[in-house]
Amino acid sequence: YLRLGPFAALDAVTAIVPGRKVHAAGYCLGGTLLSIAAAALARRGDERLASISLFAAQTDFTEAGELTLFTDESQISFLEDLMWSQGYLDTTQMAGSFQMLRSSDLIWSRMMRDYLMGERTPMNDLMAWNADATRMPYRMHSEYLRNLYLRNALAEGHYKVDGKSVAVENVTTPWFVVGTETDHVAPWKSVYKIHLLADSEVTFVLTSGGHNAGIVSEPGHPRRHYRWALHPGGRPYTDPDHWVPLAQAEQGSWWPRWARWLAAKGSGEQTDPPACGSVDHPPLANAPGEYVLQR
């Protein structure tokens, strides 16, 4: 999945726009994969990444939150048996795990409103996006749960790519890492542990909201706020409880802060964007894509 995912995407971008470094971003499991990929690239001496942005993504799983209730040896073995017969974990099975983590909001309140009160739950764009779940392939899901949740292999230095261990501390690229205050999937204090692994500069943002709404938090929403602080490489570690009062508090969305950070890490050039794709990498269909029209 690294070879056909982050590595293939990086190869495609550098082939279409040669000679340019890439600002890479990963969300949740995608951010964990990006961190592993960045560590593997650093081990090879590959310097194609200009920056790394992680959204609600964990790299150390010692305090991975409520999902650890479902990730002991017996539970993972049960999931592996379930996935073996169909080749993947179905979307309904995956969604059920997350619903159990917030049963008051995602199960009982909806049952009360829909069944007892006879009222339809009002829909919004975020709910529609959240309902577009992804099946988890057997091997990927099994290795993710075993190597990261059970063994914490990346943080402990024995996660291997191409048969060789990788270490996040080898990454010299600056990091922009976002955690959310009420995240039930990737608790912000767990996301914050990137400070214990990364030796390069880390800008950490703690924003209001949860795993979805805290990240999909464009400017204009009322009552949104965040805190942020820059931790230069080589400085002493500050634990998360002491970090909160020291961080700079801001009102509004964290997106403009990220945009300014990316601009500061860029080349400073402003040019017209190149044409999409290339001969070897033809562009895909316009948004929203073709798969959403399939029945």
For the annotated catalytic residues, the residue numbers are 28
For the chain, what is the radius of gyration of the CA atoms? 20
How far is residue 22's CA from residue 150's CA, in Å, rounded to a whole number? 32
Is 179 in a helix, a strand, or coil? strand
Percentage helix, strand, coil for the chain under 3-state DSSP, each rounded to 5: 45, 15, 40
The DSSP 8-state label assigned to residue 116 in this structure reads I
The H helix count followed by the E strand count for the chain is 13, 10
How far is residue 7's CA from residue 161's CA, in Å, rounded to a whole number? 12
Give ∠ CA 283-285-286 in degrees, rounded to 5: 105
Contact partners, residue 283, CB within 8 Å, separation at least 6:
276, 277
- Kindly state the tokens that stand for 270: 């402003």
Is 231 in a helix, a strand, or coil? strand
Q: Strand 49-55 to strand 88-89: parallel, antiparallel, or no bridges (unpaired)? A: unpaired
In the chain the first and final C-alpha atoms are separated, in Å, by 27
Q: Measured between alpha carbons, how far is residue 267 from residues 20, 50, 259, 263, 264 in Å?
A: 9, 10, 14, 8, 8
- Kindly state the tokens that stand for 159: 């996660």
